[in-house]
Amino acid sequence: MNKKMKEQIELLLTKYFEGRTTLEEEEKLKIYFSSEEIEEELKPLQSLFDYIREQKSIEYPIKTQQKREKEKRGLYRIAVAGAAMLLLLLGSLFFLRRQESFSTQSFAYIHGELVLDQKVIDQYTIQFTEETFLLIEESKTIMKEQRELMKELGISLP
């Protein structure tokens, strides 16, 4: 190796250990220390560059961003579940307390009017429920007729 090349490598090593080398300069050092023409006094540094090369070739399991995000999502779900449970608990307590104060008197608004008579409320509820079931049955019949008409017209359903 010539004197100029040796001086250049020594300068690059000085810069390297001071943390001032560029990527190109570090590449030159890696190439030099992977060659067979290493100066005898620089041979101890060859093991350092071999070690760095080996470490870069090892693939480590990824626990970086993906795993952290997964952990955050898990903690977020636990926090949301806890908040939901607290909300349900507080809502239940509020409802039970309100129910205690109304437990002696039932009321309903029927057609915009306050009704306090339980028998009237029960009758209206039964009547409303029966009318709803009749409407549902009527809707089923209409839908059945529409399907049959569509089949006759050749319109296919998904």
The pLDDT tens digits for 84-134 are 888 888 888 877 776 655 556 777 888 888 888 888 888 888 888 888 888
Tell me the C-alpha distance between 118 and 104, whole Å.
Answer: 11
Task: Let me know whether 98 and 119 are in one domain.
Answer: no
Specify which residues 142 forms β-bridges with.
Answer: none
Q: What's the pLDDT at 95? A: 77
Task: Let me know whether 93 and 119 are in one domain.
Answer: no
Asked, for residue 99, whether it belongs to a domain, the answer is: yes
Task: Let me know whether 88 and 114 are in one domain.
Answer: no
Task: Let me know whether 13 and 32 are in one domain.
Answer: yes
Asked, for residue 82, whether it belongs to a domain, the answer is: yes
Domain extent for 29: 3-57
Q: What's the pLDDT at 1? A: 61
Asked, for residue 146, whether it belongs to a domain, the answer is: yes
Task: Let me know whether 29 and 51 are in one domain.
Answer: yes
Task: Let me know whether 112 and 130 are in one domain.
Answer: yes
To the question of pTM greater than 0.75 for the whole model, the response is no
- DSSP-H helix ranges across 35-114: 43-57, 65-102
Residue 9 CB coordination number (10 Å): 20
Number of structural domains (the chain) is 3
Task: Let me know whether 43 and 71 are in one domain.
Answer: no
Output the CA angle 145-130-117, nearest 5 degrees. 160
Tell me the C-alpha distance between 34 and 46, whole Å.
Answer: 8
Distances in Å between the Cα of 147 and the Cα atoms of 56, 138, 144 are 68, 14, 5
111 contacts 121 by C-beta, under 8 angstroms = no
Q: How many residues does the chain have?
A: 158
CA atoms within 13 A on the CB side of 124: 14
Task: Let me know whether 79 and 41 are in one domain.
Answer: no
Asked, for residue 74, whether it belongs to a domain, the answer is: yes
Rounded mean pLDDT, 127-151: 85
Torsion angles phi and psi, residue 39, rounded to 5: -60, 145
Task: Let me know whether 146 and 121 are in one domain.
Answer: yes
Q: What's the pLDDT at 20? A: 92
Task: Let me know whether 136 and 149 are in one domain.
Answer: yes
Asked, for residue 158, whether it belongs to a domain, the answer is: no
Asked, for residue 79, whether it belongs to a domain, the answer is: yes
pLDDT one-digit tens code per residue, 6-65: 888 889 889 988 889 998 998 888 888 888 888 888 888 888 888 888 877 776 666 666
Q: Is the model's pLDDT at 158 over the cut of 80?
A: no
Closest by CA to 124, choosing from 140, 141, 139, 107, is 107
Asked, for residue 118, whether it belongs to a domain, the answer is: yes
